[in-house]
Each structure stands twice: as structure tokens, then as C-alpha cells.
Amino acid sequence: MTVPLTQHRLADGPTRRAIVQGGALMVGFALAGVPTRARAATGDAGPRPVDPNEVDSFLAVNGDGTVTVFCGKVDLGQGLRIAMRQIAGEELGIGIDMIKYIEGDTTLTPDQGRTSGSNGIQRGGMQLRRAAATARQALIELAAQRLNAAPDDLVAKDGEVRPNNGGAGIKFAELIGGRNFKIKLNPKAPLKDPATYTLVGKPLPRPDVPAKCTGGFTYMQDFSAPGMVHARVIRPPAIGAKLIGVDEASIKHLSGANVVRLKDFLAVIADDEWTAVRAARALRAQWSEWSGLPAQDKLIATLRADPEVTDEVLVTRGQQGPSAQSGAVSRSASYFWPMQSHGSIGPSCAVADVRSDAATVWTASQGTHGNRKTFARFLGLPEEKVRLIYLDGAGCYGMNGHEDAAADAAIVSRAVGRPVRVQWSRQDEHGWDPKGPPQLLDISGAVDPAGRILAWRTEMWLPQTTRGLPDIPLLGPAAAGLDNVRGLQPGLISQNADPPYTADNVQVLVHWLKDAPLRPAPIRSPGKPANCFAVESFTDELAAAAGLDPIEFRLSGLADPRGIEAIRRAAALMNWQSRPSSGANKSAPVMRGRGFAYVHYKHSESYVAMGMEVAVERGSGRIRVERVACAHDCGQIINPDGVRAQVEGSILQTLSRVLMEEVQFDRSRVTSVDWSSYPILRFPDVPKLDIVLIDRPTQPPLGAGEAACSPVGAALANAVFDATGARLRTVPFTPDRVKVALSAV
């Protein structure tokens, strides 16, 4: 049976009642840890405050002495669940074990923006720190009245306010337990002196790890709602194809399986998951032809020749015009970074319960709050009637298919009037997750024999970002003909396209492309791995042209003391001996070399310096990365083990992207739709990692989830050049590409 959209509500039969009960159960689930006693005390059963300017949006002191932290940023495995507790507990004066935690729920947590851009701690965490500091000040003032003491003589510690010089204190719960603070975040509330920290800076274990290791952790993929049906969405064989016809009889043999069709949106539902899988495989549908993609083997030329570009000069520094100096050497080179998939190990999944007047969507999206507007729009519901609740999915590193799967689930749920779980297949995820955009960079420059950069010009071709776009266009609403946003949102992909080193003149010009070959979305460290690959490779090319050691060349053009220290620390890890590249063993069957790269992330955030040791096999063209050394300065470290895990992950994931990854496509669709056609790094490819974290407790904390991705490509390319004399300027560095480059030396 095809379920038309107009029949989207079941009558109040048993199924509906089950859903209502389920709804109550779900609310109970979602509210675990909410100060219910607090509500009872005040009689306030109304909505929680979610205004990010209000202290109560972030913190509640419960009647039992615990504190609940409400966090709008979500934990994707990067450790916010512990780091946020450390920040709040430290600033408030209460132990970690007394803190409950709720995250990513549009009804319960403040809108702190997408969990992206490595902003979790540096923005979201600092909002929470400010809220906790404001709350502590309020608690101390309340206690001062009760104790008839001066606030300066009191301290908040271990969940109570007590006199500095000893004596009985008053518990937080006694002071305000169950009641709201009703105050705004005070930007002037005094912060604790980092020298007195007892929680921040400690490698406390992440609370979700034990359940993840023993099987009790509930992922998005494991969640079920009462009365839920399983759905699979059938995507067309060509990206722009239209649905001509569906042969519903083709799944008649599968008991309980049904077709849901809305225009070009096609799905099957069944009571059990395996039947839904079989139905999706068996369903016969006829689609129109479509072949609107560019030819992959001509992609670079296609981007470069695109007539519909908007030019923007991003950087102009120093005097313009050519620097004519005797002995100056000029170079120019072109670099390319291909489209890549987020490559989540678990395909996207979501559950939605859409009713005529309200919707609840469980999603692993990094943008729970941001999605609310989008979902309200295509569901035709008021924003406040749409609730999105975050559950961990497989790591998404930007924006994989999570949002699309959630929209799919919402569309099918609205159509069938029951809670619906949509699970994507591996082929769906690889084929249809929005892709990291292609990036093409031409760089030219000149250097004098002393190593001074005389001129630098970067010219880039990048997909544009549509101004004011709240979200990227979603597949389901587009196919179903529902209200959908239009435009591109690849992330902030033009940053770090100019060198961090002194240069007489620098210009960065971007040609914004009106469109992208495949739907783009932010992918970890958006744009910066490619830009830094080009900039730091070209820096190395200039150093080699001047006959100078790559690290000394960098240091001679750098004034920032934190950058200098990061470089020196990484050089020490590498036991770096000064000499120009390339090295001496260029004719050996296995050539060894070392490379270096540096980034000051977004020119304003973390500092990362990275060295690599590689072996290149002449016969096979295979690169073996043997060791990566990294010095990482992200300011104040909240949790050093969490930062270390992020740096390890950034390095290994980006090595995978640089060595292996490129989305393959024909004129109709993505053809790299599994792990054999889109291989990623495996255990035998994993190098030794030596990481030094530079802690700066008195500096603001900066992001640690992305910065170390950026220098990976250049450190590797520079090491290959050092080993072989061959320059790799196109990612990925496949054995075939390496062999071609070697033959040109």
C-alpha cells in the first residue's frame, strides 16, 4: 500500500495510545537527571529556561545537593561530557560525582550553536564557565546573608559555601536547592585563579567509556520508541533522477512491508528491521535518467574554467607589485584536495515521532538546535512544537548523513502516523552523505637567498557559502517536494590560505564557485587541511629554493612566541638536524625522509607544529608513515587525556584522508560506496605518534578537535619530497601518483 501524505494521522486507536504512552516514557528518559524535586518545590512544571544569557539555562542546584549541567553542545566522542563537568565543577565548587548532565535537547538545553568548528570548549565551555562563576557569586552572597559574613570571607567548595578560615558552611542545596537563580550571566563575575584549580587540567576519565566498552551504551542506532516501525529510504540510481513508477507488487511476498511514496521520495516500512532491508532490496522502481555530474577526470580543469565565479580578495598585506631583487627565486605550484566522505563507521540513523501538532526527533546531528528551524519548516509546524534530542551516533566529524536520516524519519513518520526508525545502508552513507568540497589552490611566490619571502599570492577555487543559510539542503524534503533551504554550506573553508610567516607582500584571492559537483558540507577542520597542505608545501618549496633548512626557514619568518615554541618542541621530538631538503638517499629502493609543517589555526586559535618520518618504496610507490611528532598548544587544557585523544584522532584521520581518500563518481552518481572503493587507514598503516601538549593555564582554552588535522598533508608531502625529491601536490597520495611523481624527478 502506498500511504499518501494526506492520511498522515491514525485515529485514536490502540497504536496512538501506545505512542502517547511511549511519549511519556520518552520524556521520562530524556528528563533523567532533571531536578524534579526542584520542580515540586516551586510548583514549576513549565518549560526549562533555554536562553543562553540565563544562568538557569546552564545549571540547576537540585534539592539533593547534586547539580545538573545543561549543555547545548553535544559529545560526539570528543569528551565534552567530562570536560564540561570539570569546567562547571571547578568554577562552582562541587565535585564531578555530584554533577548530572543533559545535552543537546532543544527543550532542555540552551542553544549554544552547532557543535562544530572546534568551538565546544572555547565558546560553549566558556559560556558554562561564566554561568558557573555567576552562580557561585550568587551562592556566596546568599550564604553571606545567612552567615552574616562578608562575601570575601567565604569560599564555595565541595558543594557548600563556608568561611575561608574554617567553620560550618551551608550546602548549595540549602541555599537554593530546587529554585531558580533567575539571574543573567555576569561577564564580570570573578573567575577562579587557575593556580587553585583542582579539576580543570586533570586527565579525568570520560564517563561514557565503560558503557561503550561493555555494551550498555545506547547509541542512536540502538534507540527504539514504542510502536516504532522500521523504514529504509530508496535513493535514486542517479542523483537528479525523478521517480517514474513503483511496482508495489514486487514486495507483496514480504509480510507487513509497505511502500511510502511522496513525489520522488520513496521508502519502505516494516515492523521488523530485516523485513525492511529485504523490502528495500526487492522493491522495483523506475527512475528517469540523469547525468549532470562533471567528468571526474576533468574536475580540476572544470573548476578552473568555471565562468560563474564571484571573486573576493581575502588578504592583502604589504606593498603590492613584484619585488625585484637580485638573487630572488620565483616559484609557482598548483595543489588539489578532492571531495571526501565523512566515512562514519555506522551509517546514519534516526527515530522520529511526528504528529499533527508536534514532533519529536531523536538524532545524532551535531546541530540539534539549528535543525529545529529546518525541521519545523518542512514539517509545517511551529518551531516550539518541534523537539530534537541528541543521541550519540557513529562519529560524524562535521555533517554526515545524520541530518538527512532524521529528515527521512520525520517524513515517513508524518506519512504513516507512527514513530519511525530510519537506518541508512553503507551504500547510502558513502553515496549520499554530503561531501567535503573540492579545493584547488594555485600559489606563486618569490624568496631571496637569505630566506625572506618577497611575495606570496594564493588563488583558490572553492564552492561558495550561501549567506544566511541555516542548514544545508536535505535530501528527503527535496525529494518529497517539501519546503527546503537552497544553497551551499561547506563551512569556513577559506581560512589559513596565507602564510603565517613574514612576507613583503601577500595576496589571497578566492574565486567562489556558484555550485559544487556534489552537495558539500563541513568536514572536520573545514578547508584548513587543504589550505594548510598547499601553504605549508609551498613554504617548503620556497625553503628548498633558497637552499635552507625547512624549520629554520619557518622560524626566521615567525614572530609569535607561542608558534615558535610549538615549532621548537616538535623539532626536539624529531631530533631535527639542520639541513636543506631534499635528502641524500634518493636512489635507494626504500627512501627515507622527514618533513615539517606548522599552523596557527584560523590565525587566531591553537598552534600546531608537526614532523613526520616516512619511507617511500620506489618499486610500489607505497608511502609508509613511520612516525608523527606533534607539539600542540591549545591554551588552557581542560582535560589533557581528552586533548591527547583528539590530537591522535586528528592526525590519524587526516593521514587517512591524505593517503587514501577520494570520492569516486561517474556522470550520474557516487561510485565509491563501500570500504573497498573508498578505503581508509587500517592498523598496519598506523605510525608511531609522539605528542607533546603545551599547557597554558592562564590563557583561554582553544579548540583541540581540528587544528592538528591541518598540518598533516604538508608534513607528509614535505617528508616525501625530502625522501625522494618528488613533490606531491594532489591528494590522495596513492601509490600510482607517487610513482608518476618519482618518474618525473
In contact, 609 and 566? CB cutoff 8 Å = yes
- Of residues 77 and 732, the one with the C-beta less far from another protein: 77
C-alpha cell at 533: 597542505
Under the binding rule (CB under 8 A), the answer on residue 218 touching another protein is: yes
The Cα–Cα gap between 189 and 212 comes to: 38
Nearer to another protein, 166 or 216 (CB): 216
- Using CB under 8 A as the binding rule, the residues of this chain from 236 to 265 that contact another protein are 255
The footprint of another protein on residues 682-741 (CB under 8 A) is: 682-684, 686, 688-689
C-alpha grid cell for residue 447?
Answer: 624568496
- By CB under 8 A, name the one of 146, 244, 675, 698 that touches another protein: 675
Alpha carbons 733 and 534: distance in angstroms, whole number: 14
Per the CB < 8 A criterion, the answer to whether 614 and 626 are in contact is yes
Interaction between residue 674 and another protein (CB under 8 A)? yes
Minimum CB distance to another protein smaller for 645 or for 693: 645
Q: Which of residues 435-464 bind another protein (CB under 8 A)?
A: none
The candidate with the shortest Cα–Cα distance to 236, out of 296, 182, 298, 288, is 288
If one counts every other C-beta atom within 10 angstroms of the C-beta of residue 677, the result is 12
Of residues 508 and 681, the one with the C-beta less far from another protein? 681
Instruction: Pick the piece of the chain touching another protein (CB under 8 A) from 193-201, 271-279, 353-361, 547-555.
Output: 271-279
Angle at 73 between CA 72 and CA 74, to 5 degrees: 115
Q: Which of 35, 49, 77, 550 binds another protein (CB under 8 A)?
A: 77
Considering the rule CB under 8 A, would residue 615 count as an interface residue with another protein? Answer: no
Q: Which lies closer to another protein via its Cβ, residue 175 or residue 267? A: 267
Site string for another protein, 635-654 (x = CB under 8 A): ------x---x--xxxxxx-
> Shortest CA distance to 585 belongs to which of 432, 737, 719, 725?
725
Is residue 97 a contact point for another protein (CB under 8 A)?
no
Is the CB of 331 or the CB of 426 nearer to another protein?
426
Phi, psi of 123 (to 5 degrees): -105, -60
Q: If we measure between CA atoms, which residue out of 140, 125, 119 comes closest to residue 190? A: 140
- Please report whether residue 214 would count as binding another protein according to CB under 8 A: yes
d(CA 423, CA 395): 15
Residue 672 binds another protein (CB under 8 A):
no
* 81 vs 511, beta carbon nearer another protein: 81
Q: What is the DSSP secondary structure assignment for residue 665, as one 8-state letter?
A: B
Name which of 134 and 656 has its Cβ closer to another protein.
Answer: 656
Kindly state the smallest distance separating residue 369's Cβ from another protein, in Å.
21
Residue 582 preceded by cis peptide, ω within 30: yes
State yes or no: residue 274 binds another protein (CB under 8 A).
yes
Euclidean distance between CA atoms 36 and 407, whole angstroms: 32
Grid cell in block for residue 322: 613584484
User: Smallest distance, Å, CB 388 to another protein?
Assistant: 19
Q: Interacting stretch for another protein, rule CB under 8 A, among 38-46, 159-167, 615-623, 670-678?
A: 670-678
| Shortest Å, Cβ 642 to another protein | 8
Q: Is 29 in the site for another protein (CB under 8 A)?
A: no
Tally the residues of the chain: 745
- Residue 458 near residue 331, CB atoms below 8 Å: no
Strands (E), 308-365: 309-318, 329-337, 349-354, 359-363
**By CB under 8 A, which span of 85-93, 217-225, 452-460, 571-579 interacts with another protein?**
217-225
Q: Give the count of residues interacting with another protein (CB under 8 A).
A: 60
Is the Cα torsion angle 114, 117, 120, 122 positive or negative in sign?
A: negative
Q: Angle between the 528-546 and 712-724 helix axes, to the nearest 10 degrees?
A: 30
Closest by CA to 369, choosing from 353, 356, 386, is 386
Binder to another protein among 118, 221, 494, 672 (CB under 8 A)?
221
431 binds another protein per the rule CB under 8 A:
no
Residue 362 in contact with another protein, rule: CB under 8 A: no
Point out which residues bind another protein (CB under 8 A): 76-79, 205-206, 208-219, 221-222, 255, 272-275, 277-278, 343-347, 392-395, 397, 423, 425-426, 641, 645, 648-653, 656, 674-676, 680-684, 686, 688-689
